Amino acid sequence: MIELTEVRKVFNQGQPNECPAVRSISLTLARGGLTVFKGPSGSGKTTLLTLVGGLARPTSGRITLEGRLLSNLPERFLTEVRRHTFGFVFQQFNLIHGLSVLENVMLPAYPLGRQHRALVNAARELLDRFGLGAKAASRVEWLSGGEAQRTALARALINDPAVIIADEPTANLDSALSRDVLTLLGELAAQNRTVLMSSHDPRVFESVRVNRVIELHDGRIVEDRSC
Amino acid sequence: MRLWFERQKYLIDYTLAALLRRKTRNLGLLLVYTLLVFLFAAVLLLSQGLRREAATLLQDAPEVIVQKLSAGRHDLLPAAWLETLRRIRGVSSVQGRLWGYYYDPAVKANYTLMVAPERNLATDEIVIGAALARIRQINTGDYLGLRAANGQPLPLKITGVLESASELLSADLLLLSETGFRRLFELPADVYTDAVLTVRNPREAHTVAQKIALALPASRPILRAEILRTYDAVFNWREGLLFLTLGALLLAFLILAWDKAAGLSAEEKREIGILKAIGWETGDILRMKLWEGALISLTAFLAGYTLAYWQVFHGGARLFAPVLKGWAVLYPEFRLTPAVDGQQVLVLLAVTVLPYIVATLIPGWRAAIADPDAVMRG
């Protein structure tokens, strides 16, 4: 369970260009299920996801994971939590060019020092599961948008995280590919993983696979409904 | 431990892949880097080799040389001095030497002429150094014509060529008989160029030198240790001259390396952001950057040092030999004994490898300590 209490995030605090992105949000996210954060651009969706995923620290407030306070953990411990608990999928895919699909999927596990053969097997298994087995040796810049996003999803799962954080994962995909990605995320949620995603696409937050929709405006929650 | 090795293996894998992705840039850098290490190592190896060679050759040099000074300059030594020197306590033998220089306008080179009594040469016989034989294209059995001090030509028959093992000191050497030498330079029979002494106890050479200075106030005793020190100083000076030139090159390289290594491209910064976002910590990024710096700099170091070693000890050290071996026209040709000095290697490592590693680490660290959330914003 992830709990946010009075979380605020202000960029450039104290500067003339100070920008409050998240304003005093309190929220409880139960284990499992697919939660979508919706809202227009600049509403604070992405910032909130980065705070939950430990990619950035809140300006004030508390974030706890299974009762453990994350928001004031030193960087090293926060990374440790992040690499074991969270898997990230980004709008721009953020795959590393010049490396193969297989290598990209294995990357998050490198610092863990897992045995090479076991790691390769785990990565291949994920690629097979997402229909990318034949592309394992291809360089990622040769992939289509859908293939790239599925590769990113496989990469997010390589360390077997309990929480998947996906920021606008369908924004760069056509309808059919968006549906595929949503299906995959829904399946992960059904396997008792917590899937948190942001989107402003109605096809996503109106999907039957979504369990909860939280709407944000100007850094505040304006609606929170279960589906 | 296995975990640690496995992690380092993954980091090296990733670093190699990253380096190969920017092949042209990194290969260019590697080439310049290798060249720089090669130049520095070549100067160090050559000057050290020469010093060692000179020291080996001078081991057999006389313990004390006595010269006569006149108005502060080297003058011919009267034969009567030899008896005075023999009487000094501690001196076991004294021998007068005859040597000098001869300018040969045909090849625009100076020869070193020396009387070698132990060779029992006849008046018109000479033995010449290998470089002299090469440049004049003459050999045993040929005649070499010199012009005597009175202007008359003096044909001298070559009875041998000095072996090249001793070429450092004998390249331009011409050995002849005492009568031949005196006839060439019109020297009277009662003078010598200088005198060489052996002392009973080499540790007392300094005391003997003091006694000589007292007995013969116009003399200048020179100890073997002083000659060695002079050689050292000359090589140090020449080495310093080269290092000064190379220093400018090093500075230029450091600026280039700093620019290449320190200025992370937008793509590299993005990659660091991605790696942090997917679970790499700052330490992992730093280790990766450390491997990157180490792989490039150590490869360049090994390649440069190996090339320099080969060039100096097997390739005749053609690059810097003219400066470091001497300013003579007749350059000696000889092979230095291969040797590597651990301390020298460490200094070279410190000068060339460390700055590059630091230059790669700092920007990596600066990019890695930032929150990785920027990557979420594309």
Asked if A113 and B10 come within 8 Å (Cβ–Cβ), the reply is: yes
Helix (H) or strand (E) holding A11: strand A2-11
Place of tokens 């005749």: B316
Mean pLDDT of B154-163: 90
Which of A94-103, A136-145, B359-368 shows the lowest per-residue confidence on average (mean pLDDT)?
B359-368
Q: Is 50 exceeded by the pLDDT of residue B147?
A: yes
Measured CA to CA, the distance from residue B134 to residue A132 in angstroms comes to 73
Whether B162 is covered by a domain: the verdict is yes
From the CA of A43, how many Å to the nearest CA of chain B? 13
Check residue B305 and report its DSSP letter: H
A-interface mutation test, from B13, B289, B376, most A Cβ less than 10 A away: B376
Does a structural domain hold residue B2? no
Question: b/e string for A122-141 if b means 16 or more Cβ within 10 A?
Answer: bbbebbeebebeebbeebbe
Residue of A nearest to B277 (CA): A55
Paired tokens of B149:
């001090």
Residue B176 has pLDDT above 50, yes or no: yes
Q: Give Cα A142 distance to the centre of its chain.
A: 24
Cα–Cα distances in angstroms (integers) from residue B219 to residues A177, B77, B204, B230, in the given order: 101, 9, 18, 19
Calculate helix-pair angle for B224-257, B342-368, nearest 10 degrees.
20
Q: Are strands A33-38 and A194-199 parallel, antiparallel or unpaired?
A: parallel
d(CA A153, CA A93): 9
Kindly list the structural domains of chain A, giving each domain's residue range(s) and its CATH number in brackets, ordered by start: 2-226 (3.40.50.300)
Q: DSSP E strands: which ranges in chain B?
A: 64-70, 73-75, 77-78, 91-97, 99-104, 109-115, 125-128, 143-147, 153-161, 173-176, 191-192, 194-199, 219-223
Interface of B with A (CB under 8 A): 2-7, 9-11, 13-14, 17-18, 20-21, 267, 270-271, 274-284, 369, 371-373, 375-378
Computed over every residue of chain B, the mean pLDDT equals: 83
The answer as to whether B312 is a domain residue is: yes
pLDDT of residue B330: 47
User: For residue B377, is pLDDT > 70?
Assistant: no
Q: CA–CA separation, B338 vs B314, rounded Å? A: 9
Q: Assess whether B189 and B242 both reside in one domain.
A: no
The widest CA-to-CA distance across chain B, in whole angstroms, is 98
Q: What does the pLDDT look like over B204-248, one tens digit per residue?
A: 888 999 999 999 999 999 988 887 777 777 767 767 777 777 777
What is the mean predicted confidence (pLDDT) over B34-46? 86
Domain assignment present for B1: no
Say whether A47 and B373 touch across the interface (CB within 8 A): yes
Indicate whether B82 belongs to any domain: yes
Q: Of A9, A45, A55, which to mutate for an interface test with B (greatest number of B Cβ within 10 Å)?
A: A55
Q: Are residues B216 and B86 in the same domain?
A: yes
Give domain status of residue B373, yes or no: yes
Contact A50 B3 (CB under 8 A): no
Cβ of residue A59 closer than 8 Å to a chain B Cβ: no
Residues B216 and B273 in one domain: no
How much is the average pLDDT of B281-292? 89
Supply A102's token pair.
């297989």
End-to-end CA distance of chain B: 38
Percent of chain B whose pLDDT exceeds 70: 87
pLDDT band (50, 70, 90) for residue A100: very high
DSSP character at residue B262:
I
In chain B, the residue whose alpha carbon lies closest to the alpha carbon of A74 is: B281
Chain B residues near residue A57 by CB distance under 8 angstroms: 371
Instruction: Inspect the interface and report whether the beta carbons of A55 and B373 lie closer than 8 Å.
Output: yes
Give the range of the structural domain holding residue B78, as residue numbers without chain letter. Answer: 64-223
* Residue B343 CB contacts under 8 Å (≥ 6 apart), including other chains: none
pLDDT band at A87 (very low <50, low <70, confident <90, very high): very high
pLDDT at A3 over 90: yes
Give the pLDDT confidence score for residue B220 in this predicted structure.
92
pLDDT at B333: 52
Last residue of a domain, one of B194, B223, B252: B223
Judged by average pLDDT, the poorest of B185-199, B246-260, B271-285 is B246-260
Which string of DSSP letters, residue by residue, matches B118-155?
GG---TTEEEE-HHHHHHHT--TT-EEEEE-TTS-EEE
Out of B7, B270, B376, whose CB is closest to A111?
A: B7
B218 and B234 in a single domain? The answer is no
Phi, psi of B232 (to 5 degrees): -60, -45
Q: Give the model's pLDDT for residue B219.
A: 94
B92 lies in the same domain as B215: yes
**Spatial distance between the Cα atoms of B340 and B102, rounded to a whole number of angstroms:** 38
For residues B217 and B235, membership in a common domain is answered with no
Q: What pLDDT score was predicted for residue B134?
A: 85
Q: Least CB-CB distance to B375: which of A76, A90, A156?
A: A90
Of A47, A55, A114, the CB nearest to B372: A55
Bridge partners of A36?
A197, A213
* Domain annotation covers residue B3: no
Shared-domain flag, residues B117 and B97: yes
Give me B138's structure tokens.
Answer: 């003459």
Question: Do A52 and A165 contact (CB within 8 A), yes or no?
Answer: yes
Same domain assignment for residues B352 and B266: yes
Predicted pLDDT of residue B202 = 82
Instruction: Note whether B210 and B264 are same-domain residues.
Output: no
A111/B281 CB distance under 8 A: yes
- H or E segment to which residue A163 belongs: strand A163-167
Put simply, the answer to whether A112 touches B7 (Cβ < 8 Å) is yes
Give the residue with greater pLDDT, B128 vs A177: B128
Residue B376: is its pLDDT beyond 70? no
Among A82, A114, A116, whose Cβ lies nearest the Cβ of B279? A82
Query: How would residue A49 be classed by pLDDT, with cut points 50, 70 and 90?
Result: very high
N-to-C CA span, chain A? 19
**Considering B157, B190, B223, which residue would you say is the last residue of a domain?**
B223
Same domain assignment for residues B248 and B211: no
CB contact under 8 A, A98 and B282: no
- Per-residue burial over B280-298, b if 16 or more Cβ lie within 10 Å, else e, is bbbebbbbbbbbbbbbbbe
The number of folded domains in chain B is 2
Of B21-25, B226-230, B260-264, the poorest mean pLDDT is in B260-264
What's residue B71's pLDDT?
92
Q: Are strands B143-147 and B173-176 parallel, antiparallel or unpaired?
A: unpaired
For the segment B126-146, the average pLDDT, to the nearest whole number, is 89
How far apart, in whole angstroms, are the C-alpha atoms of residue B100 and residue B119? 18
Q: Give the pLDDT confidence score for residue B354 in this predicted structure.
A: 83
| Residues from chain A contacting residue B278 (CB–CB below 8 Å) | 83, 88, 107-108, 155-156
Write down the pLDDT at residue A193.
Answer: 93
> Is a pLDDT exceeding 70 seen at residue B260?
no
Per-residue pLDDT of B320-333, as tens digits, reads: 666 665 544 444 55
Q: What is the mean pLDDT of residues A74-102?
A: 89
**Is B89 found in the same domain as B30?**
no
Residue B290: inside a domain: yes
* One domain, residues B69 and B214: yes
Whole-number pLDDT of residue B322: 63
Q: What is the pLDDT of residues B325-358, one digit of tens each?
A: 554 444 455 566 677 888 888 888 888 888 888 8
For residue range A113-146, list pLDDT tens digits in order. Answer: 889 999 999 999 999 988 899 999 999 999 998 8
CATH number of the domain that residue B82 is part of:
2.40.40.20
* Among candidates A98, A107, A115 on the partner chain, residue whose Cβ is nearest the Cβ of B278: A107
**Mean pLDDT of all residues in chain A?**
90
Where a domain ends, among B223, B241, B261? B223
CB B194 within 8 A of CB B77: yes
Q: What is the ipTM of this complex?
A: 0.89
DSSP SS3 for A64? strand
